[in-house]
Amino acid sequence: MVVSSAPGKVYLFGEHAVVYGEPAVPCAIERRARVRVEERDGDALRVHAEDLTLDGFTVEYSGVADAPDVDVSESLVEAAVGYIDGAVAQARDAADRPDAGFEITIESEIPLGAGLGSSAAVVVAGIDAATRELGVELTPREVAERAYQVEYEVQDGQASRADTFCSAVGGAVRVERDDCRAIEEVPNLPFVIGYDGGAGDTGELVAGVRALREEYDFAAATVESIGDVVRAGERALSDGDLEELGRLMDFNHGLLEALGVSARSLDELVWAAREADALGAKLTGAGGGGCIVALDETEGAETALKYTPGCEEVFRAELDTDGVHTESGGDGTQ
């Protein structure tokens, strides 16, 4: 039996635009998904999911699973099962064990569909744990590549490498098409996360941006402008200029609003943080509901968000410099 974990993430800059080859800078945060995998006889899977902002479910299947009866949208449940299936398929392929069966338990501190990279963390941790259970050890970059293939398939070819690479290697990273690398010497980033309790449909939101981009030249230019913001943000990150990072986060949110991927609940959280003198604030992830990230060294934004109607949770999130790692089993630990 092997337990592996991987971190969630926030986007400092660049979500949505990264799908079209623009750069993005996601940052791993100290909220993790843990996947426990134990090989079992036969080729069936038994999957237990807990703490995914679902009611929890257990399902056993070979091939196609019956949808669990949980209080979230059917599309999110289908995607969750697709991510698990994809992680298992990648592990079987890496170990050349096409008929391996597994008992899988997923526990996550990352809300499902909230823009904090829950699916990437589960897939990354799942691939790492399952391959180790089958006697194969992959590097973080190998895990990231296999996890990207899973997200690419589940999201109908509209995924980027950003989420999975960030979750696999940890820290702050830069992703532009196939060029993925860690960013060294990142200053302390005082993240405050506000969560509206909702969840966006990533596939639907990405498809909506694609449709706008194909219909309107100015929408395509907006995507390119996000890329320009990212490049300016990289310079500010290198200089350790938190005030400039905050201003650019504000710009990035405005451009995402223009692309139609924000929501009133997210805008209200963003403005509450800004009015409390946060250096900057923006949605993180696909949008449509979920989380915002603010940059604030004081307690102002955190306090303001706690008293903002519609904000269900507020927490500080330290940068997690650890990517995927094994917590027990596989490498003899614990």
pLDDT at 113: 75
Beta strands in 22-118 (DSSP E): 25-40, 45-50, 57-61, 101-108
For residues 288 and 283, give the distance between their C-alpha atoms in angstroms, rounded to a whole number: 9
* Chain CA centroid to CA 51, Å: 16
User: What angle (nearest 5°) sits at the alpha carbon of residue 301, between those of residues 298 and 303?
Assistant: 95
Outline where the chain has alpha helix (H).
74-95, 118-133, 140-154, 162-169, 202-215, 217-239, 242-258, 264-275, 300-306
pLDDT mean across residues, the chain:
90
Using 50 as the pLDDT threshold, list the residues of the chain that sit under it. 52-65, 69-72, 332
Question: Tens digit of pLDDT for each residue in 35-75?
Answer: 999 999 988 888 887 654 444 444 444 444 455 544 445 55
pLDDT at 29: 96
The token pair at 313 is: 């949770």
For residues 101 and 198, give the distance between their C-alpha atoms in angstroms, rounded to a whole number: 34
Active-site option among 85, 163, 201, 296: 163
pLDDT at 244: 97
Question: Tens digit of pLDDT for each residue in 260-275?
Answer: 999 999 999 999 999 9
> What's the helix, strand, coil split of the chain in %, to 5?
40, 25, 35
pLDDT at 82: 86
Q: DSSP assignment, residue 277? A: T
pLDDT at 224: 98
Is 163 an active-site residue?
A: yes
pLDDT at 63: 47
Domains and CATH numbers, the chain: 2-184 (3.30.230.10), 191-317 (3.30.70.890)
pTM: 0.89
